[in-house]
């Protein structure tokens, strides 16, 4: 039986407004926004002033509010709000992937201790219900890997470059204009945002909690015309790909970095702000999910799905935590990469195990060879500063 939902909403930006819109368009669920906490006193808003408050405690202690929906940008503030709400007996819906990836193990323990529920489908891949699928459909399945395009902003930029011959800077500007990328796009194009999402999915796919600081992510901001031309000549495209996968029965690994994808890959034609996830399993084989990953309405729809699930008393069970108790995180993996560079000193950061191909040009060079994930992780800060671009070769 459905419960009447009275929402205390934190944040009324792009996603908060998207949620308000989809709530108004939904006919099958009884959910009302009682109060909205905001931080800016100078913005003009579409709702009456009576809806808004600047006092967080007014919502957290409001007797009518039985669900907290947290949609703010500040990960630390989101963590404090979420933990307070869970401890006070209120369920929480959030879309803050950095907060979740950083504190998920603690938040799972809090739910169990206080008998509350934390739902966060909107934190990963926008409109794709991948967390719920991992929790329910794949709850007893042996998963080989989960991979995909988890960031709509970077995928939009790469699509414009390859489909419309736009420059990186022009594509980024358009993404910012449309609200797909922030004024400072580092979280998206640097691969941090998709890493947070990958860490969250790894907990649901394998029952292993990964600190994002201990994982490797590398972005697209040093992409050059040479790299684009190289890909086109090979009939390849470049996508920012996330991968979490088993190395063996005792170890798993994960990373985020650009990858060449072949025309035969399902990721080849995933364009613009769309996300995609491919799950490879022992019994179900390969399954592919695709949907919009950026924008207020797609994320708002995922948040709405969590609100609806909460009205039925749904909560994540995290079954894989018990099933995969012997599985540990490892960086003992080898990856074949293409590296375009100008300075041989930068190339030394990669410590290639073997080299498959080398090219020396007047202005630019590249090498294709095998590197270890542990080396990439050890040198990740230097690699981000170096004058090079790195892409994993096709899987």
Distances (CA, A) of 229 to 39, 238, 306, 390: 46, 11, 43, 15
d(CA 184, CA 211): 23
The string of DSSP codes covering 180-224 is SS-SS-HHHHTTHHHHHHHHHHHHHHHS----GGGSEE--STT--
Please provide the distance, in angstroms rounded to a whole number, between the alpha carbons at the two ends of the chain: 46
Distances (CA, A) of 82 to 38, 118, 213: 16, 8, 22
d(CA 216, CA 331): 9
The answer to whether the CB of 199 falls within 8 A of the CB of 104 is: yes
Q: Is 159 buried (19+), middle (13-18) or exposed (0-12) by CB count in 10 A?
A: buried
Catalytic residue among 97, 197, 239, 320: 197
The answer to whether the CB of 353 falls within 8 A of the CB of 319 is: no
Report which DSSP code applies to 273: T
Is 41 catalytic? The answer is no
Catalytic residues, by residue number, are 197
């Amino acid at each position: 039986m459905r419960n009447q939902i009275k929402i205390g909403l934190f944040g009324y930006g792009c996603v908060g407004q998207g949620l308000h819109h989809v709530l108004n368009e939904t006919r099958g669920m009884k959910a009302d926004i009682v109060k909205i906490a905001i931080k800016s006193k100078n913005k003009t808003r579409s709702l009456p002033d009576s809806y808004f408050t600047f006092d967080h405690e007014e919502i957290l202690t409001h007797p009518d509010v039985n669900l907290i929906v947290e949609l703010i940008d500040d990960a630390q503030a989101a963590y404090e709000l979420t933990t307070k709400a869970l401890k006070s007996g209120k369920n929480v819906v959030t879309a803050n992937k950095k907060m979740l990836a950083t504190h998920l193990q603690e938040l799972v323990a809090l739910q169990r201790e206080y008998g509350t529920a934390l739902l966060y489908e909107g934190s990963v891949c926008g409109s794709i219900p991948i967390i719920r699928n991992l929790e329910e459909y794949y709850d007893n399945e042996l998963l080989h890997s989960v991979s995909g395009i988890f960031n709509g902003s970077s995928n939009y930029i790469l699509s414009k470059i390859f489909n419309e011959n736009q420059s990186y800077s022009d594509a980024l500007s358009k993404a910012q204009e449309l609200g797909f990328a922030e004024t400072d796009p580092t979280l998206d194009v640097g691969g941090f945002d998709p890493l947070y999402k990958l860490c969250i999915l790894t907990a649901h796919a394998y029952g292993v909690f990964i600190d994002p600081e201990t994982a490797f992510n590398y972005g697209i901001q040093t992409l050059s015309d040479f790299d684009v031309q190289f890909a086109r000549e090979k009939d390849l495209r470049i996508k920012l790909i996330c991968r979490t996968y088993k190395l063996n029965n005792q170890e798993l690994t994960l990373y985020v970095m650009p990858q060449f994808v072949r025309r035969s890959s399902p990721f080849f034609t995933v364009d613009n702000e769309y996300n995609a996830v491919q799950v490879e399993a022992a019994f179900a084989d390969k399954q592919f999910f695709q949907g919009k990953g950026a924008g207020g309405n797609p994320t708002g729809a995922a948040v709405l799905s969590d609100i609806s699930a909460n009205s039925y008393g749904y909560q994540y069970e995290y079954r894989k935590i018990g099933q995969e108790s012997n599985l540990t995180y490892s960086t003992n993996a080898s990856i074949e990469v293409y590296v375009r560079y100008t300075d041989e000193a930068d190339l030394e950061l990669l410590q290639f195990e073997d080299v498959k191909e080398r090219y020396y040009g007047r202005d630019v060079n590249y090498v294709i060879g095998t590197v270890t994930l542990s080396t990439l992780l050890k040198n990740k800060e230097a690699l981000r500063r170096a004058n090079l671009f790195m892409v994993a070769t096709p899987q």
